[in-house]
Amino acid sequence: MNIHEYQAKALLREFGVAVPRGVAILKASDADLATDELGGPVWVVKSQIHAGGRGKGKFKEASAGDKGGVRVTKSSSEVNQFVKQMLGATLVTEQTGPAGKQVNRLYIEEGSEIDKEFYLSILVDRETSEVSFVVSTEGGVNIEEVAHKTPEKIVTFSVDPATGIMGHHGRTVAKALGLSGDLAKQAGKLVAQLYTAFVAKDMAMLEINPLVVTKHGDLRVLDAKVSFDDNALYRHPDVVALRDETEEDAKEIEASKYDLNYITLDGTIGCMVNGAGLAMATMDIIKLYGLAPANFLDVGGGADKNKVTAAFKIITADPNVKGILINIFGGIMKCDIIAEGVVAAVKEVGLKVPLVVRLEGTNVEAGKKIIADAGLNVVAGDNLDDSAQKIVKAVKGA
Ligand code: GDP
Ligand code: MN
């Protein structure tokens, strides 16, 4: 789960992290309150969307102006103008894709006088199974590009969970960023605070780009991007409360209500499968025969008719889906339950694209009979290979 920059900063502030003061607003009429409260003399108006690259982004609407999604100004009336331009407009950045994202929230922040911009992120390193830091003097720019062109400018290290964050980690960061004296001390403190926040809140990633040194000699977090480990959300109701569903894929939200493991992909074959391994294999074989899956969907072992119906509805509602492949191995899950769910869903929402169903395992005959008796326009698949070929052929032929 992702949160907005202003939420991430508020959360980091709870751990003592030095972040600029700011006020989040949802409507243009609140801009004056925010500028008054912050007092100036410099304000930054920042688009709040779950995507990076806002500064260099472009709004689709000409009326929003061409100054990007992050704007610095010394005039409170210009703050007002920017707020009116940006709220409701659609921002396109390197990370949003061409469709862009509508800006529904703005963060107005006190401006910082930047001397240097650095990069710092914390993530879970799957190779070492440890929390790792990635640090670079090359902040404010695309870190992927730095990693590609000048990898020597990136310093990484992991933290042993048994000992936790220690003084030498802070010194490593200070050295990597060329900081000494009081700034090195600030770096040590910041590293400990960020690590503590990361672990306490079960974050998956915490990216600060840029981390800046101000002209007054302060180390400050100017941008913050945080994502959380979904599997740990149950123990963080305060984090769940920060969820902004307008930023998430509507189909994935619907699927999560039914506890379905569903991810939207960019192909054309909708897939309904039980078991993550079988779902992956099904996606692979669709690719092998020349098309691509529109989604990953594991309905799980204990799915009931309701769950199957919900899953089928989510798939059919996707306009990218040109054909559906249902591939079920009935172990704990029974084939007749799947069949009932499919029939109920088709009766409710109709079937406008080809559907291939492959059932195998527990109660397979009963399942096949339910589908046959329903008189639906369904193609029966004999095995995984045959089914994949059939759905690809049906879609390509259509
Ligand atoms: P991103 O483009 O989505 O990563 O958004 P950022 O929050 O990183 O802002 C983009 C850029 O705007 C930063 O890299 C800074 O160069 C600039 N910026 C952000 N806040 C301030 C500020 O307070 N003062 C100044 N001078 N520049 C800022
Ligand atoms: Mn940034």
Q: What residue segments make up the domains of the chain, in order of their start?
A: 21-110, 114-239, 249-397
Residues 203-230 have pLDDT tens digits of: 999 999 999 999 999 999 999 999 999 9
Ligand 1 center to 138 CA (angstroms): 14
Does the structure show a pLDDT above 80 at 118? yes
Query: Which atom of ligand 1 approaches the CA of 109 most closely?
Result: 23
Catalytic residue among 5, 207, 247, 340: 207
Query: What number is the average pLDDT over the span 267-277?
Result: 93
φ, ψ (nearest 5 deg) of residue 352: -105, -5
Based on the number of CB atoms within 10 Å of its own CB, is 346 exposed (0-12), middle (13-18) or buried (19 or more)?
A: buried
Look at the pTM and tell me if it is higher than 0.95. Answer: no
* CA atoms within a 13 Å half-sphere pointing along the CA-CB vector of 357: 23
Pocket of ligand 1 (CB under 6 A): 44, 46, 52-55, 70, 72, 111-112, 114, 117, 140, 209-210, 222-223
The token pair that represents 208 in the structure block: 């600060």
pLDDT at residue 395 in the model? 95
Reply yes or no on whether the pLDDT at 98 is more than 80. yes
**Distance, CA 239 to ligand 1 centroid (Å)?**
25
Looking at residue 274, the DSSP 8-state letter turns out to be: S
**Which of 245, 256, 193, 247 is CA-nearest to residue 219?**
193
pLDDT of residue 80 exceeding 90: yes
Give the residue-averaged pLDDT of 310-316: 91
Q: Is the pLDDT of residue 20 over 90?
A: yes
The rounded distance, in Å, linking the Cα atoms of 83 and 129 is 43
The residue that leads in pLDDT, 305 or 5, is 5
Candidates 28, 95, 87; CA nearest to 61 is 87
Q: Which residue has the tokens 């920017």?
A: 82
Distance CA 217, CA 208 (A): 18
Percent of the chain residues topping a pLDDT of 90: 77
Question: Looking at the predicted structure, is the pLDDT value of residue 322 above 80?
Answer: yes
Residue 304 has pLDDT above 80, yes or no: no
User: How far is the C-alpha of 335 from the C-alpha of 368, rounded, in Å?
Assistant: 8
114-239 folds as D-amino Acid Aminotransferase; Chain A, domain 1 (3.30.470)
Best probe residue, ligand 1, of 5, 43, 44, 46 (max atoms within 8 Å of C-beta): 44
Helix (H) or strand (E) holding 338: helix 335-349
Ligand with minimal distance to 93 CA: 1
Considering every ligand atom, which ligand is closest to the CA of 115?
1
Q: Is the pLDDT of residue 337 over 90?
A: no
Question: 199 CA distance to ligand 1 centroid (A)?
Answer: 26
Under a CB-based contact definition with an 8 Å cutoff, are residues 221 and 5 in contact? no
Q: Is 340 a catalytic residue?
A: no
- Catalytic residue list contains 78: no
Gap between the Cα atoms of 153 and 158, Å rounded = 17
306 pLDDT above the threshold of 90 = no
CATH class for the domain made up of 249-397 = alpha beta
SS3 135: strand
CA 392 from chain centre, in angstroms, equals: 30
Residue 333 labelled as part of a binding site: yes
- pLDDT, mean of residues 351-359: 93
Catalytic choice (107, 119, 195, 262): 119
Which atom, in ligand 1's list, is nearest to the CA of 140?
A: 14
Q: Grade residue 40 by pLDDT with cuts at 50, 70 and 90.
A: confident
Mutate to test the pocket of ligand 1, among 70, 73, 79, 218 (most ligand atoms within 8 A of CB): 70
Q: Domain 21-110 falls in which CATH fold?
A: Dna Ligase; domain 1 (3.30.1490)
